[in-house]
Amino acid sequence: MTTFDLLLVGYGHVAQRFVALLTEQRSRLAHDHGVRTRVVGIATRRRGQVYDGRGLSARALESYVVSAPSTGSWPPRQGVSRTVTPIVDFIRRATRLSAAAARQRRLIVIETTTLDIERGEPATSHVRAALAGGAHVVTANKGPAAFAYRALAEAADRANRRFLFEGAVMDGVPVFNLVRETLPAVAIIGLRGVVNSTTNYILTAMEQGQPFGEALAEMQAMGVAEADPSLDVEGWDAAAKTAALANVLLGADITPEMVERRGITPETGRAAIDARTMGRRVKLVARAGREGDRITARVAPEALADDDLLAMLEGQQNAIILQTDLLEEIAVVQRSGSLTQTAYALLSDLMTIARDVTRAPATRRAPTSAPRRRTPSRRDRR
Amino acid sequence: MTTFDLLLVGYGHVAQRFVALLTEQRSRLAHDHGVRTRVVGIATRRRGQVYDGRGLSARALESYVVSAPSTGSWPPRQGVSRTVTPIVDFIRRATRLSAAAARQRRLIVIETTTLDIERGEPATSHVRAALAGGAHVVTANKGPAAFAYRALAEAADRANRRFLFEGAVMDGVPVFNLVRETLPAVAIIGLRGVVNSTTNYILTAMEQGQPFGEALAEMQAMGVAEADPSLDVEGWDAAAKTAALANVLLGADITPEMVERRGITPETGRAAIDARTMGRRVKLVARAGREGDRITARVAPEALADDDLLAMLEGQQNAIILQTDLLEEIAVVQRSGSLTQTAYALLSDLMTIARDVTRAPATRRAPTSAPRRRTPSRRDRR
């Protein structure tokens, strides 16, 4: 039985659902996987910081959400203390206090802060600090993989720790894990997909005559749209996911601004209605591929033939079609999304780390977080 | 660098393509994964047996296919010898001669013989003999998982070896590996899919007015239909795959005869044309799920709404939709099939074994071949 110590950086809906999921799945994790977890620290921007190396109680976790932070000493062991330290400093201090767990590769930073999609921050700095402190990192943020994948993957390699982010695209539906774990001898040569739920919902609704603004308002009311909906409709969210996919699966080193991008407008709705009469469906399609040595990446509305798998994605459904050298095309489809699915993405990454740690002794070199064939690192194997 | 010794049991198109694939991918396997392979033996029913513990040369591999077997001594080191021993005896003897590799968990039997779909043999006996001889087993046959999954998984567990069969369903597109490697904390509660290419091709063709027999003849000419096409059209192939999926993913212990089964006929074609006029599409749908404590499994033509993901599978496309507790529905779609894809399935299983062996020292207990949460075995982890 291995106990993993968790530092929660960000503690909003996703992280709270994740903690509840750990409790719900406690016996499955323990009995089937030999894994126990405890939360040893939480840090958010507004509510302050709390740390207890022996594990925070369920009551401490609950009261964190409601209690007002107070100024206190460091480590902020009892209750919640508001410190002037930025979260990056919390990560540095907390990983130092948890140095024993870090050495045994049992320390994991769970990163779920709100993302500034134009810079990929503060998530990227959090990942960097966590790896520097000897922790593995699991994040639901697309920012780090979209803006700094190569550098972070190399940092993880050097630290012999994992940097995982399954939740960055299609929630818990395996994409990154799928390629890493189940397609070891296959090269991904390109991909296309529908990766933003809000725009797909709006497009489907507009085809049926609903106005753009009304459909968007529905997505906002349901909490699916980004806080700033222009990130969805202008294609920024899809571009960030496309950059992450291209970086990880195609070995690119791009950022979201380098993705050619066109979003959707009320105009697109009219085009979608016209396309429908000709047996076609308009979707916001994300693409990445190779052109010679260059990686190209693009997000734009496309009128697809109606027997195209992407054309039949209704409402909030997402899908990615991987073009491979040996297996031709493989598609993964997410038929529905929810908070639980995003939280599950964190859990699945945690289990990937657990499998590594429990399989291989701490002194041996762990598998790289980067897909093996893309990085120059060569592992020394027997 | 670890060298895996391969015993090829069956050496038809799939196995030959697999050997070619190993050569094509040699440098990727060596550099990115630290894996080398060599074929140390081949056995087929008609062409006799050959074994060389130092590895068969490329010329020996080639000449095996064309040369006539001669009576010779055992081990049949030079050339091919026809012995009266059945293949099971070859496996026993060859694993004994390769005992050192077996002890180091470097010996793999690659099983690709022709299947008797009514009994799951001789593949099941081959798997049993291979595990008893300390070899891992990789098979493209659905028989062993469809007829004897639980017993074989337990035998593999006891032997601390792997029993893998990704190619049994949807060729190399990950299904079993997907669930085992990327959905560790998810329970599969049911599934449905289109898993037989021949019947889906015939149904699609009949919708467009092509006669049943003509469409079937095309599939036979392309080598996609089973040698005995009644195995496809009467639903036996789909039933065997459904049994395998139910056994592995739902913890059932059933055989293909226990799958409720209806195939397709020229009648089904007329029903498909009628259904199409009502916006529905007829597909041969495989289903498995729980009803209380019981696992139910069924293969039958169903008229699906045309926005059903399974309804839009044209020609030879296949798909499986997994119903899960935490992630709701996840679909995996195979957009095209080929000999290379089936051969790749064998390679992906080989890589799974390689990852285990190179990660964990030989003395430690390897992960079970059965999904962890279904078997009573509890691994002793730190």
The band of A145, judged by pLDDT with boundaries at 50, 70 and 90, is: very high
The verdict on B114 touching A (C-beta cutoff 8 Å) is no
What is the C-alpha separation between B38 and B26, in angstroms, rounded? Answer: 11
Average pLDDT in the B305-325 region? Answer: 92
Our CA-based measurement puts residue B19 at a distance from the nearest CA of chain A, in whole angstroms, of 14
Distance CA A173, CA A178 (A): 9
Candidate ranges B230-239, B349-358, B363-372; pick with highest mean pLDDT: B230-239
Q: How many CB atoms lie within 10 A of CB B189?
A: 13
Q: CA-to-CA distance for B210 and B149, rounded, in angstroms? A: 39
For chain B, say whether A363 makes contact (Cβ under 8 Å): no
Across the interface, whether the CB atoms of A327 and B344 are under 8 A apart is answered yes
Distance in Å, alpha carbon of A35 to nearest chain B alpha carbon: 9
Contact between residue B164 and residue B234 where contact means Cβ atoms under 8 Å apart: no
Checking if the pLDDT of A162 tops 90, the result is: yes
Q: Which of B93, B142, B192, B241 is catalytic?
A: B241
User: What's the pLDDT band for A77 if we cut at 50, 70, 90?
Assistant: low
CB atoms within 10 A of CB B228: 11
Summarize pLDDT for B119-161 with one digit per residue, the tens: 889 999 999 999 999 999 999 999 999 999 999 999 999 999 9
B-chain residues near A314 (CB < 8 A): 307
Which pLDDT tens digit goes with each residue over A169-214?
A: 998 899 999 999 899 888 999 999 999 999 999 999 999 999 999 9
The two tokens of residue B141 are: 């046959």
Task: Render pLDDT for B100-128 as a digit per residue (tens, 0 to 9).
Answer: 999 999 999 999 998 887 888 999 999 99
Q: What percent of chain B has pLDDT over 70?
A: 91
- pLDDT confidence of residue A300: 98
Averaged over A137-155, what is the pLDDT? 97
Mean residue pLDDT across chain B: 89
What is the torsional sign of CA A237, A243, A249, A250?
positive
Task: Grade residue A249 by pLDDT with cuts at 50, 70 and 90.
Answer: very high
pLDDT on residue B68: 72
pTM assigned to the model: 0.86
Per-residue confidence band for B227, with pLDDT thresholds at 50, 70 and 90? confident
Tell me which residue in B307, B336, B367 faces A329 most closely, judged by beta carbons.
B336
Catalytic residue among A136, A142, A192, A241: A241
Percentage of chain B with pLDDT > 90?
69
Q: What integer pLDDT is reported at residue B256 of this predicted model?
A: 96
Query: For residue A342, which phi and psi values (nearest 5 degrees)?
Result: -65, -45
Question: pLDDT tens digits for A213-236?
Answer: 999 999 988 888 877 889 999 999
Report the pLDDT value the prediction gives residue B228, as an integer from 0 to 100.
84
Residue B373 confidence (pLDDT) above 60: no
Q: Which of B140-149, B358-367, B370-379 holds the top average pLDDT?
A: B140-149
CA A92 to chain centre: 22
Which pLDDT score is estimated for B139? 97
For chain A positions 43-82, those within 8 Å of chain B (CB to CB) are: none
| pLDDT score, position B323 | 95
ipTM, two decimals, is 0.82
Non-local CB neighbours of B85 within 8 Å, separated by 6+ positions? B49, B74, B93
User: What average pLDDT score do residues A341-346 get?
Assistant: 93
What would the DSSP string read from start to end of B17-30? HHHHHHHHTHHHHH
The three-class DSSP label of residue B52 is coil
In the residue annotation, A241 being an active-site residue is answered as yes
Q: Does A339 touch chain B (CB under 8 A)?
A: no
Please indicate if any CB of chain A lies within 8 Å of the CB of B365: no
- Shortest distance, CA A298 to any CA of chain B (angstroms): 23
Instruction: Report which residue type is found at A156.
Output: A
B358 near A382, Cβ under 8 Å? yes
Q: Which residues make Cβ contacts (< 8 Å) with residue A376, sequence separation at least 6?
A: none
Mind listing the pLDDT tens digit for each residue in A284-313?
Answer: 999 999 988 899 999 999 999 988 999 989
| Cβ pair A179, A249 in contact under 8 A | yes
Nearest to A173 among B21, B31, B327 (CB): B327
pLDDT at A256 over 60: yes
Q: What is the mean pLDDT of chain A?
A: 89
The arithmetic mean of pLDDT across residues B214-231, rounded, is 87
Is pLDDT of B84 > 80?
A: no
Of A2, A321, A336, nearest to B328 by CB-CB distance is: A336
Task: Please give the pLDDT value at position A179.
Answer: 94
CA dist A145 and B90 (Å) reads 51
Give how far A195 is from chain B: nearest CA, Å. 15
If 0-12 CB within 10 Å is exposed, 13-18 middle and 19+ buried, where does residue B167 land? buried
Residue owning tokens 């990686």: A295
Residue of A24, A161, A178, A289 whose CA lies nearest to B326: A24
Under the banding of pLDDT at 50, 70 and 90, the label for residue A127 is very high
Dist. CA B330–CA B328, nearest whole Å: 7
Q: Is pLDDT of B364 > 60?
A: no
Helices A26-33 and A339-359 pack at an angle, to 10 degrees, of: 30
Nearest to residue A264, comparing CAs of A277, A242, A283? A283
Q: Per-residue pLDDT for B377 more than 50?
A: no
Q: Which of B198, B194, B209, B195 is nearest to B266 (CA)?
A: B209
User: Is the per-residue pLDDT at B188 higher than 70?
Assistant: yes
Mean pLDDT of B49-56: 92
- For residue A53, pLDDT beyond 50: yes
Give the C-alpha separation, B195 to B284, whole Å: 8
| Helices marked H in chain B | 13-24, 26-33, 58-66, 87-97, 99-103, 123-132, 143-159, 176-177, 197-207, 212-221, 230-233, 236-249, 266-277, 339-359
Scanning chain A, the segments in alpha helix (DSSP H) are 13-24, 26-33, 58-66, 87-97, 99-103, 123-132, 143-159, 176-177, 197-207, 212-221, 230-233, 236-249, 266-277, 339-359
Is the confidence at residue B72, as pLDDT, over 80? no
Percent above pLDDT 90 for chain A: 69
pLDDT of residue B335: 82
What does the pLDDT average to over A103-126?
93
B185 CB near a chain A CB, below 8 Å?
A: yes
Can you say whether residue B174 is alpha, beta or left, with left for phi > 0 and alpha for psi between -120 and 50 degrees?
beta
Query: Is A30 an 8 Å CB contact of chain B?
Result: no
Q: What is the average per-residue pLDDT within B349-361? A: 83
Cβ of residue A341 closer than 8 Å to a chain B Cβ: yes
Position with higher pLDDT, A330 vs B337: A330
Q: Calculate what percentage of chain A has a pLDDT beyond 70.
A: 91
Contacts of B379 in chain A (CB under 8 A): 34
| pLDDT tens digits along B240-291 | 999 999 999 999 999 999 999 999 999 999 999 999 999 999 999 999 999 8
